[in-house]
Each structure stands twice: as structure tokens, then as C-alpha cells.
Amino acid sequence: MIPIWDEGLQNERTRLAWVRTAAVLAVGSLGAGGIVLRAGVSPLVLIPFALASVSGTLLLTRTGVRYRRVQRALHEGDPLDDRVDAVVAWLGTLTVVVGAALFVVVR
């Protein structure tokens, strides 16, 4: 019988995707914050980028925990639940959009 999933590789690829998403969110937000600072606009525009950077950092720290939890669930046949990580990624991305819109309006 052919196994439905390859032991570990799907989870490895997913973990790498989460790491890339989290790193881009954290570092990209810091870069955008640097652009805002150099543009000389109100420092309040930095708040969304700071929140997005915190979201990315939080996701990055959770990738190892998430990997182990998913690996265990796959081997035991339990359902997967990654809603918290998805919501944090969504909120981080949304704050980048809000920050960019604020920057455009203020600038």
C-alpha cells in the first residue's frame, strides 16, 4: 500500500514556508520602518510596522513548536489546528498594509 503522505517532508516544506513568511514579515517591517524614519513623517506611522515586526518575530519563534505539534499529529492521526499562527500572519500582513496606506496618505 502507498502511504498517503511522506513521513516528514510535507511538514518540513510547510515549516520552511512559515519561516520564510515570518522572516519576511519581521525584517520587511523593520525595513519599511526605516524608510518611514528617513522620510521624516510622523513617528505614529511606525506603529503598524512595529506591530508587524512583532507578529513576524512571534511566528518565527513558534515555527519549531508548530513543527513538532504537526509532526506528532500526523503520526498519531490527530486533526491539525494552526488557526492561531494563520491569524497572527494575517494580522501582521494587515498591519503592513495599514502602515503603507498611512505612509502614502501622510507623505
Tell me the CB-side half-sphere exposure of residue 94, using CA atoms within 13 A: 6
What is the average pLDDT across 30-38? 93
> Mean pLDDT over all residues of the chain?
86
Can you say whether the dihedral through the CA atoms of 25, 28, 30, 36 is positive or negative? negative
Can you say whether the dihedral through the CA atoms of 50, 84, 65, 11 is positive or negative? negative
Residue of 20 and 9 predicted with greater confidence: 20
Nearest to 26 by CA among 102, 89, 106, 78: 89
Specify the DSSP class assigned to residue 5: S
* pLDDT tens, residue by residue, 44-53: 999 999 999 9
Q: Is the pLDDT of residue 10 over 80?
A: no
pTM over 0.85: no
What pLDDT, on the 0 to 100 scale, is given for residue 47?
A: 93
What is the average pLDDT across 76-97? 85
CB 92 within 8 A of CB 55: yes
Q: Is the pLDDT of residue 5 over 60?
A: no
Q: Is the pLDDT of residue 7 over 80?
A: no
